[in-house]
Amino acid sequence: MKITLSTLHKMKQESRKIAMLTCYDATFATVEAAAGVDILLIGDSLGNVIEGYSSTLPVSMDDMLYHTRCVARGAGSALVLADMPFGSSQVSPEKTFENAARLMAAGAEMVKIEGGEEMAQTVRFLTQRGIPVCAHIGLQPQSVNVYGGYKIQGKTEDSARRLIQEAQTLEQAGASLVLMELVPAAVAKQVTAAIQVPTIGIGAGPDVDGQVLVLHDMLGLVPGKKRFLRNFMEGSPSIQAAIEAYVLAVKSGEFPTMEHAY
């Protein structure tokens, strides 16, 4: 059965976990969909794991369009979500719509936009014109130079309160999903309880509606240890089995545990 926004919202209502994983080509799209991944994210993380850059900032619209077309061809029943790359949504709502529409024409079924309350007008503009939006709050890799590095967000009472407010504002603007990155587990739990749309976490603890990891990270292909990660290739006889193990662990609540949280 095809995964749609209605499916995801029903999963939240029924307390069924959502499994999201990044994907960049048709072959892995087919493998991930067969393994039960609900959402395939064409992440601008491709700048790091595919193109070899040190950040996501150099990723272009042409890059995203190419990889979105590839993934869409193999996505099967999974929902296809594409990142808006740096510079494509930090513009007028009209120009953002033009960029998002190109991604939708390439096969995306939703776009992801980084930013808090300042993006509410843009989110509203897109959703009123038929483009579903996943809002991305907490750590926003496209703003890494503003943060001074990849740092946990929402650690203070004021910043935690701001994250909750941002999620509510973006939901009211029409966002269909809210993704939180590097947020303390207790804060992510509060955000999840404060809004009606599903929440997806990466480094945000277990009390969210779903999880996402970068494909190359969960397969143990990227050197270095990150607290929120688990190498699903360990003990798995194949990549297919590793992805199936990830999906099962997310849906059973076995991953992540508080061991992987902040």
Supply the pTM of this predicted model.
0.95
For residue 82, which of 51, 46, 44, 54 has the smallest C-alpha distance?
44
Q: What pLDDT, on a 0 to 100 scale, did the predictor assign at position 175? A: 98
Residue 16 is classified by DSSP as P
Task: Give phi and psi for 211, each to the nearest 5.
Answer: -130, 155
Q: Answer for the pair 89, 118: CB distance below 8 angstroms, yes or no.
A: no
For residue 142, which of 119, 167, 170 has the smallest C-alpha distance?
119
Structure tokens at 124: 């509203």
For residue 163, which of 180, 146, 177 has the smallest C-alpha distance?
180
For residue 81, which of 48, 40, 118, 127 has the smallest C-alpha distance?
40
- The contacts of residue 26 (CB under 8 Å, 6+ apart) are 70, 71, 73, 74
Residue with tokens 């130079």: 145
- Measured CA to CA, the distance from residue 89 to residue 100 in angstroms comes to 8
256 preceded by cis ω (within 30°)? yes
- Domains contained in the chain, number: 1
**3-state DSSP assignment of residue 106:** coil
- The contacts of residue 4 (CB under 8 Å, 6+ apart) are 79, 109
- Give me the residues paired with residue 83 across strands: 112
pLDDT per position in the chain (262 positions), as tens?
A: 999 999 999 999 999 999 999 999 999 999 999 999 999 999 999 999 999 999 999 999 999 999 999 999 999 999 999 999 999 999 999 999 999 999 999 999 999 999 999 999 999 999 999 999 999 999 888 765 554 555 678 889 999 999 999 999 999 999 999 999 999 999 999 999 999 999 999 999 999 999 999 999 999 998 877 888 999 999 999 999 999 999 999 999 999 998 998 8
- Measured CA to CA, the distance from residue 5 to residue 218 in angstroms comes to 25
Active site residues: 181
Q: What pLDDT, on a 0 to 100 scale, did the predictor assign at position 146? A: 56
Backbone dihedral region for residue 177 (phi beyond 0: left; psi -120 to 50: alpha; all else: beta): beta
Residue 228 belongs to domain with CATH number: 3.20.20.60
- Measured CA to CA, the distance from residue 129 to residue 127 in angstroms comes to 5
Domain that holds residue 43: 5-260
